[in-house]
Chain A
Amino acid sequence: MELKEKMELLEEIMDVEEGTLTPESELAEVDEWDSLSKLALMAEVKKRVNRRLSTEEILNFKTVQDIIDYLQ
């Protein structure tokens, strides 16, 4: 997945406007990075690459870049 695609995916999941998120964005500062978004991300990962994203892995995401790196 290209960077642009990944950003669009995260924007979809968190229901935010284009440009709201940057790779440097701190997830703790993003209101929309809530339990609903986390579940949605887990579902997307399962659907796209048939991998199980664990709660521990999610807790380790500190920035948007961390998620981008995970979505290899």
Chain B
Amino acid sequence: MKYYMITGASSGIGRETAIQLSSESSTILLVARRRDNLLKVKDMLKGPGIVMPCDLTDPKEIESVFEALKNQNIKLDGLIYCAGICFTKTIKMMQSGDLENMFRINVFGFYEVCRHFQKVKISNAGAAIVGVSSYAAILKESGMSAYAMSKEAMNVQVQVLSKEFAKRKIRINTIMPANVMSKMDCENNDWSEEELRIVNSKQPFGIIPIENIVEIIKFLLSDTARFITGETLSVSAGY
């Protein structure tokens, strides 16, 4: 039995990854804030799932999640960090606390979860981590300072930690998708006709289907990618 922890599992890329990774031989640890949403995802899985509600901005709650794993003698084979927020604000629109909020979930949560994950009692040697970063870190467009900064922080994290984790052959990478057909916890949740038109004009290959991102995540977790670590994989769709 393999065990994969997925944060942000209640929606979007996290949910789809949970569904596609699940199987008779793969148990998914579903992490997000709300139990009710996680239970809905658990029902959609193709195999066993364990619901683990957690506020990733609270280090104590993160610690509890990993204590629970230790108590159940579960050792992880993978971590997919999909939890994150996004907003578009030029610096003039930014308010005190906005940057911290962005970093709290996108950066500090990712770091803290990785800090627990790498422990000998928590992860198996040869385990793999994938963080969902963003092509926004490359584009660095106006209005994206907080978001791009947070996503680039994830990129730097995996490049450094890949060296620290090499001894136990734990691989850590990010994926950087351009626009994905997925609801993120963004101010603008729905992709309106107009927005899709704009995306398609900037992204020649069109908006990325969520299933494609999940396929790439699965590749990064797979045996084929066993020599890939510290990589920040762009999925630009031509943007």
1/0 contact string of B108-138 vs chain A (CB within 8 Å): 0000000000011100000000000000000
Which A residues are CB-close (under 8 A) to B120? 15-17
> Roughly how many angstroms separate A50 CA and B54 CA in the complex, as a whole number?
32
> Roughly how many angstroms separate A11 CA and B120 CA in the complex, as a whole number?
9
Which B residues are CB-close (under 8 A) to A11? 121
Q: Is the interface of A mostly helix, strand, loop or mixed?
A: loop
> Roughly how many angstroms separate A14 CA and B120 CA in the complex, as a whole number?
9
> Roughly how many angstroms separate A12 CA and B115 CA in the complex, as a whole number?
13
Which B residues are CB-close (under 8 A) to A15? 119-121
Interface residues of A in 5-29 (CB under 8 A from B): 11-12, 15-18
Which B residues are CB-close (under 8 A) to A12? 121
1/0 contact string of B35-60 vs chain A (CB within 8 Å): 00000000000000000000000000
> Roughly how many angstroms separate A16 CA and B121 CA in the complex, as a whole number?
7
Instruction: For B75, give the chain A residue with the smallest CB separation.
Output: A17
Which B residues are CB-close (under 8 A) to A17? 120-121
Instruction: For A16, give the chain B residue with the smallest CB separation.
Output: B120
> Roughly how many angstroms separate A15 CA and B119 CA in the complex, as a whole number?
6
> Roughly how many angstroms separate A27 CA and B121 CA in the complex, as a whole number?
20
> Roughly how many angstroms separate A17 CA and B119 CA in the complex, as a whole number?
9
User: What's the nearest-Cβ distance from chain A to residue B238, in Å?
Assistant: 44
Instruction: For A11, give the chain B residue with the smallest CB separation.
Output: B121
Interface residues of B in 191-239 (CB under 8 A from A): none
1/0 contact string of B80-123 vs chain A (CB within 8 Å): 00000000000000000000000000000000000000011100
> Roughly how many angstroms separate A18 CA and B70 CA in the complex, as a whole number?
11
> Roughly how many angstroms separate A17 CA and B121 CA in the complex, as a whole number?
6
Please name 7 further chain A to chain B contacts, defined as beta carbons within 8 Å, in addition to the given A11-B121, A15-B121, sorted by A numbering: A12-B121, A15-B119, A15-B120, A16-B120, A17-B120, A17-B121, A18-B121
| A residues neighboring B (CB under 8 Å) | 11-12, 15-18
9 contacts between A and B (CB under 8 A): A11-B121, A12-B121, A15-B119, A15-B120, A15-B121, A16-B120, A17-B120, A17-B121, A18-B121
Report the 9 A-B pairs with minimum CB-CB distance, sorted nearest first: A15-B120, A17-B120, A15-B119, A16-B120, A17-B121, A18-B121, A11-B121, A15-B121, A12-B121
